[in-house]
Amino acid sequence: MFQIRVHGRGGQGVVTATEMLSVAAFEEGRHAQAFPSFGSERTGAPVVAFCRLDDKEIRLREPIMEPDALIIQDPTLLHQIDVFSGLKPDGYVLLNSAHSFEQIGLGELVKQRGHSKMSTLPATELGLKHVGRPIPNVPLIAGFAALSGMFKLESVIKAINEKFSGKVAEGNIAAATEAYELVKQQMEDRAHA
């Protein structure tokens, strides 16, 4: 079983992100379970959502306390809550930021965990650029696909097409594609570094 925890703020499409992750997994024939941390979240409040992936039926209903991956939609959360709580030692981290981990003062973390499973992505900018809205969720899941290699870009695009249509879908696909390529490039650069 592979467990992903997504952190963000109300209004940033955190729950949608996990749903789309689950759909992408479903498209690839896997079982997936996405669910929010239930509550009456209001816009701006810290929000967390979960996604489990497995090759067999997922029965477990507890929240994800020891994730295999973290997607952090809003870097400002880093100063508010312990988003890394329970993250497995070899877990993935994808952070929405135009800066590197080092630039935002997480150099120590990178040193501990190693570069191979960590990446930042200017997802908000990509959202603005392609969809016209500062919603980072779609670029992040595409980026996560690239970072983790868990899904193909095509599966993410299928999930986008299921959720959106028309121009919004097109924009999101463009954003996803660019994000995917950016992270892929980052990973390749690092691998070669």
Partner 1 sequence: MLKQIEGSKAVAEAIALCRPEVICAYPISPQTHIVEALGEMVKSEELAPCEFINVESEFAAMSVAIGSSAAGARSYTATASQGLLFMVEAVYNAAGLGLPIVMTVANRAIGAPINIWNDHSDSLSQRDSGWMQLFAETNQEAVDLHIQAFKLAEELSMPIMVCMDGFILTHAFERVDIPTQEQVDGYLPPFDPRQSLDPKEPISIGAMVGPEAFMEVKYLAHAKQMQALELIPQLAAEFKQQFGRDSGGLVRTYRADDAETMIVAMGSVLGTVKDTVDELREQGHKIGVLGIISYRPFPLQEVRAALVNCKRFVVLEKSLAVGMGGIVATDVRMAVSGTGLKGFTAIAGLGGRNITKASLHKLFLEAEQEKLEPVTFLDLDWDVVNKQLEREKQNRHSGPIAENILYDKGMSTSAAKFG
Q: Which residues here bind partner 1, judged by CB under 8 A?
A: 18-19, 22-23, 25-27, 31-40, 45-46, 48, 58-63, 65, 81, 85
The nearest distance, CB 46 to partner 1, in angstroms, is 7
The nearest distance, CB 48 to partner 1, in angstroms, is 6
In angstroms, the Cα distances linking 28 to 6, 25, 63, 117 are: 21, 5, 24, 22
Q: Which is nearer to partner 1, 62 or 189 (CB)?
A: 62
Q: Please, are residues 11 and 44 in contact by the beta-carbon 8 Å criterion?
A: yes
The nearest distance, CB 47 to partner 1, in angstroms, is 9
Q: How far apart are CA 127 and CA 113, in angstroms?
A: 28
Q: Which is nearer to partner 1, 65 or 132 (CB)?
A: 65
The nearest distance, CB 155 to partner 1, in angstroms, is 11
Q: Which is nearer to partner 1, 9 or 113 (CB)?
A: 9
Q: Which is nearer to partner 1, 66 or 108 (CB)?
A: 66
